[in-house]
Amino acid sequence: MKKKKNKKKVRTIQVDYLARVEGEATLYIQLEDEKIREVKLKIFEPPRFFEAFLRGRNFAEAPDITARICGICPVAYQMSSVHAMENAFGVQVEGALRDLRRLIYCGEWIESHSLHIYMLHAPDFLGYPDAVRMAKDHPEIVKRGLGLKKVGNEIISLLGGREIHPINVKVGGFYRTPTRKELQVLLPSLEKAREAALETLHWAAQFDFPDFEQDYEFVALSHTEEYPFNEGRIISNRGLDISVEEFEDYFQEQQVEYSNALHCLLRGKPYFVGPMARFNLNFEKFSPVVQQAANSIGLLPGLKNPFKSILVRSLEVLHACEEALRIVQNYQEASSATIKISASAGKGYACTEAPRGLLYHRYHINSQELIEEAKIVPPTSQNQKIIEDDLFKLLEHSLHLEEEKLQEYCEHAVRNYDPCISCATHFLKLQVERK
């Protein structure tokens, strides 16, 4: 952290490398006479140009290539890309194959959320630099977190072949589907995980949450019968209700000079995606057991405090365990691992719910089955503006804090969103300049 002073009393607070987030970013805050002038979340992670080099690739390569955008949520990229391709070719995956896709997504939610709850976010609440050092005082808790994370990875490995960049997802379905017996192996770990998820929720409910509420526009998918994963309309708490194809009519990406990630806005305004948005907009789609668990800690829709996102993530882990159990118990082997695809020229669109929120893909396929154009809007570029807004408001009430505390507080507020910088450049250095 650097501190600068001149006649006008300028103060800069800068976190050069934001820790416990995926990828690289800086936070820069400038104060003039103790008034906030600027808050910038600068993503300096180098761009990797996925949308550019997807052009000219075969449509079938999209799930493997786009997975490499993010090692933490590869399944999300695979899901959005295969659904977009199937949309282009006018087909839909149903029955057991659809269930297996939901199951692998459950695995990723459990894995990614447990990683964030225990290893990235809880240390902020309990005052440790990291989970490994937290484990010295709370070994059983950290072990529980690692155990949960492992169950998420077990699902992904069984269905996908391996936990990072699974190899078994393809346009039309899978390369190979598991037998009923193979899938049943997951049952004992899932039952244990469900218990651990409930314990996680009650443990996190005891944390001290800063009193901070904002009036956000929440955006998430909404499906008529289910808590959303791969399908649904895009809705908000302020009346938005559109199909996935209409995404670009309402949401615009904006380039800002200080960041290698694009900011996405809804009708020119910032909006909020991710677990809290899904929770607020889809609460009644949770099973009675999950709803009851939420009620037991007083967690109700209409939630406006982003520091409580850790509770929502814990609840979504519980939901994902339940959903996974349901799918495994009811699984009937599909007659074929994949449906028939006849590729044709066209445009395809898909939005799915990545652990961090809405993930949009659009592709144009030509008559040679090659990708002519690709567009990908990841959750973190959608939340970036909201994160800056939160920091702005949070700082208004916290400037009395000493520098070190202020920095920690800002970092904590950023981690509320579980930002994934690798995705957004597709993150953080905190810099506060005081004038």
Interaction site with ligand SF4 (CB under 6 A): 68, 71, 164-165
**CA–CA separation, 222 vs 74, rounded Å?**
22
Name the residue nearer to another protein (CB basis): 48 or 238: 48
- Residue 269: CB atoms within 10 Å: 10
**CA–CA separation, 316 vs 309, rounded Å?**
10
- Should residue 5 be labelled a site residue for another protein when binding is judged by CB under 8 A? no
Q: Of another protein, ligand SF4, none, which one sits near residue 173, judging by CB under 5 to 8 A according to partner kind?
A: none
Binding mask 385-424 for another protein (x = CB under 8 A): --------------------------x--------x-x--
- Should residue 257 be labelled a site residue for another protein when binding is judged by CB under 8 A? yes
Pair 137, 337: CB distance under 8 Å: no
Pair 24, 427: CB distance under 8 Å: yes
Q: Which one of 32, 37, 98, 147 is in contact with another protein (CB under 8 A)?
A: 147
Name the residue nearer to ligand SF4 (CB basis): 68 or 304: 68
- Should residue 153 be labelled a site residue for another protein when binding is judged by CB under 8 A? yes
Measured from the CB of residue 50, what is the shortest distance to ligand SF4 in angstroms?
11
Tell me which residue has its CB nearest to ligand SF4. 68
Measured from the CB of residue 339, what is the shortest distance to another protein in angstroms?
16
User: 409: which 2 tokens?
Assistant: 């507080």
**CA–CA separation, 290 vs 114, rounded Å?**
17
- Should residue 116 be labelled a site residue for another protein when binding is judged by CB under 8 A? no
Only one residue has tokens 């469900």, namely 194
Pair 434, 11: CB distance under 8 Å: yes
Pair 359, 77: CB distance under 8 Å: yes
Pair 70, 22: CB distance under 8 Å: yes
- Should residue 211 be labelled a site residue for another protein when binding is judged by CB under 8 A? no
Question: Which residues make Cβ contacts (< 8 Å) with residue 140, sequence separation at least 6?
Answer: none
How many residues at the interface with another protein, by CB under 8 A?
Answer: 65
Question: Which residues make Cβ contacts (< 8 Å) with residue 426, sequence separation at least 6?
Answer: 45, 47, 48, 49, 50, 69, 260, 261, 376, 378
Q: Of another protein, ligand SF4, none, which one sits near residue 143, judging by CB under 5 to 8 A according to partner kind?
A: another protein
Q: Of ligand SF4, another protein, none, which one sits near residue 90, judging by CB under 5 to 8 A according to partner kind?
A: none
Name the residue nearer to ligand SF4 (CB basis): 68 or 223: 68
For residue 235, give the H/E element and its range: strand 233-236
- List contacts with another protein (CB under 8 A): 17-24, 45-53, 55, 57-58, 61, 64-65, 68-72, 74, 115, 119, 123, 129-133, 135, 139, 142-143, 146-147, 149-150, 153, 161-165, 167-168, 174-176, 255, 257, 260, 262, 337, 411, 420, 422, 426
